[in-house]
Amino acid sequence: MFTVYGMADSGNCYKVKLALEQLKLPYQWVEVNTTKGETRSEEFLACNPNGQVPTLELEDGSFLPESGAILGYLAEGTPLLPAERLERARVLQWMFFEQYSHEPCIAVARAIQRYQPPDSPRRAELPRLQERGNKALAVMEQHLKKEPFFAAGRYTIADIALYAYTHCAADGGFDLAGYPAVSAWLARVKAQPRHVPLG
């Protein structure tokens, strides 16, 4: 059985939960609260020296961090990760897009709004995060006007990766009303078999 070290409210951890549920893989969940410094403990750093959740404990007792790597590991050999070379690369393209151009704006804006006090100096970052996050949403909108999913014409781990923080982008102050193709895609993802909500 897999063990997920994760925080229930984290989109990055939700990606792993959603994949495990949809692949019908047994797992246990160990809640790790990053806002209380639990990823900085000596015990946790022994599992993941980079001090981040999610971290997956495999059946052999080794640890695999990075949500994108965990999704790739879990989905290997399943319909969620195509075998064909260019389709695989397209899945990776959107997963790297998510981690580089999307999550650092949309997830960070959400974290500031949810976990920082109203007078936090970090709120000064919000206008820049809004601008960059909307740019990422516009890139998604342009793609989803032409395609039902991000890669291979079907639901893959690229969709799981991008759904996690897009579906709750309003928490970070983003208005999805201006992105109808993104909104329609969110509904398609939510309608997939064995979908579970964040949290």
Taken in order 160, 166, 167, 169, the sign of the CA dihedral is positive
User: Pick from 85, 117, 177, 187: which binds a second copy (CB under 8 A)?
Assistant: 85
Q: How far is the CB of 95 from a second copy (least distance, A)?
A: 8
Q: Residues touching a second copy: how many (CB under 8 A)?
A: 35
Q: How far is the CB of 191 from a second copy (least distance, A)?
A: 26
- Which range touches a second copy (CB under 8 A), out of 13-21, 99-107, 122-130, 166-174? 99-107
Cβ closer to a second copy: 135 or 195?
A: 135
Cβ closer to a second copy: 76 or 175?
A: 76
Is residue 28 a contact point for a second copy (CB under 8 A)? no
Cβ closer to a second copy: 65 or 173?
A: 65
Query: Given the rule CB under 8 A, which residues bind a second copy?
Result: 49-50, 52, 58, 62, 64-70, 72-73, 76-77, 85-86, 88-90, 92-93, 95-97, 99-101, 103-104, 136, 139, 142-143
